[in-house]
Amino acid sequence: MNNSSGNSMGQTIKRLRRERDWTQEQLAELIGVSDKAISKWESGAGMPDISQVMPLASVFGVSTDTLFGKAGTNDDAEVEKFIEANTYVGIAERFADGLAALKRYPTNSKLLTYAWTMGLVLFYEYYYAGDTRLGEVAKEVERVSKLAIEYCDDSQTPVLRMQLVNLYSRIDEREKAMEIAETFPTELHLYRGAALASIHNGFGEIDAELVQRAANVTMLTRELTTELSGIADAYTRGGRYADAIAELKPLIALHDSLGIVSTDIDIYTLFACYSSLAKNYVLLGDADGAFDWLTKMTDFAFDAEKANAADSSGAVPFYAHTHLLTVFQSEWFDSLRDDARFAVLLARVE
């Protein structure tokens, strides 16, 4: 085998080892070689003997094709099948299965995005429920997020980094959160979009200008949604339920008027806004208001699922019934269960 092949395998071994936070000594012990051998492989100065390839693949939980750098041609198709097969299982199972699948396809961007999204949803479920498994999930989400930042499209990096800040902030990792926060530019990244729109305008490229300005509006709306939903969450935690409702209702109206549900992140964030509205009405003791927003949330979820299914941009699938069941099973709505309206809504989901 030529040097380029050896170097490629060495780089793969190094990447897989680092992804698992193993030292060269630890990997060497697992497969019964010296740490000097591992060092030679990773530097490209040597290659594993053919008898060592299978043990390496087994230890890493990947195929031999992955070690030889041949995997990837059919990865997307296989990942699509995996995600589709996981449609009707709970969030915890989907996250666990996603982590297992990453052992086979550790750099597939679609799978990384899927696993990261499922992990983030599970993290917040555990966070708000005070679940003791929060720390374990946080550690896995952190690991997957870092892989996604490395291997996913650069356009996803700001969102991934921001969600890591959010995660660290909720598990008392202030230094880690600040380290990432300080890497963001002071100026809004919308400047690039505004500059491109200006260029299209100056050159009379009307169609291109319209597309860019629409993209700018979507970006601004996403930022606005994140901040307003954060304000509402703070109001809820502070017992100011009416104030939380006052923040969320205009936000939902804005999205309705603009028709922006363009990415999986928007869908998950908006869905959380609907459920938060229903929750705040419960906390105010207003059952009618709660049922109004639970109904709207259910309508939104099914409409969003259809829009997401038709999206060809590679957005992570949104499965309405899974997320609706999670909300309806929440203890926040225990006081509504004996109401006939609750049974009607549940029947729509089940």
Mean pLDDT lowest among 91-100, 229-238, 258-267, 299-308: 258-267
Which is higher by pLDDT, 185 or 115?
115
Instruction: Give the best-scoring range by mean pLDDT among 220-229, 234-243, 327-336.
Output: 234-243
Q: Check residue 73 and give its pLDDT.
A: 44
Q: What is the mean pLDDT of the chain?
A: 83
* Residue 316 in this model has a pLDDT that exceeds 70: no
- The top-scoring range by mean pLDDT among 12-16, 90-94, 199-203, 299-303 is 299-303
The answer on pLDDT for 271 being more than 60 is yes
Domains and CATH numbers, the chain: 3-67 (1.10.260.40), 74-184 (1.25.40), 205-350 (1.25.40.10)
The pLDDT-based confidence of 2 (bands split at 50, 70, 90) is: very low
Please check the confidence at residue 347 and state whether its pLDDT lies above 70. yes
* Separation between Cα atoms, residue 60 and residue 35, nearest integer Å: 16
Per-residue pLDDT tens for 46-64? 888 888 888 888 787 777 7
- In this prediction, residue 4 carries a pLDDT of 42
Vertex 268: Cα angle to 79 and 216 (nearest 5): 95
pLDDT at 261 over 60: no
- Reported as a pLDDT band with limits 50, 70 and 90, residue 263 is low
Give pLDDT, residue 186: 53
337 vs 350: CA distance, rounded Å: 15
More confident residue, 125 or 74: 125
pLDDT of residue 6: 43
Point out the least confidently predicted range of 38-42, 71-75, 161-165.
71-75
CA geometry: angle 55, 56, 61, nearest 5 deg = 95
Rounded to an integer, what distance in angstroms lies between the CA atom of residue 7 and that of residue 4?
5
Rounded mean pLDDT, 186-207? 75
Could you tell me the pLDDT band of residue 83, with boundaries at 50, 70 and 90?
confident
User: In the structure, what pLDDT confidence band is assigned to residue 3 with cuts at 50, 70 and 90?
Assistant: very low
- For the cut 90, the answer to whether the pLDDT of residue 182 exceeds it is no
254 pLDDT more than 50: yes
For residue 136, the model assigns a pLDDT of 93
Helices assigned H by DSSP within the chain: 3-19, 24-31, 35-43, 50-60, 64-67, 75-85, 91-102, 109-129, 134-151, 157-170, 174-181, 190-202, 206-237, 241-258, 264-283, 287-309, 320-328, 340-349
- What would the mean pLDDT of 110-121 be, rounded to a whole number? 88
Find the mean pLDDT for residues 322-336.
90
pLDDT band at 5 (very low <50, low <70, confident <90, very high): very low
In terms of pLDDT, which residue wins out, 339 or 6? 339
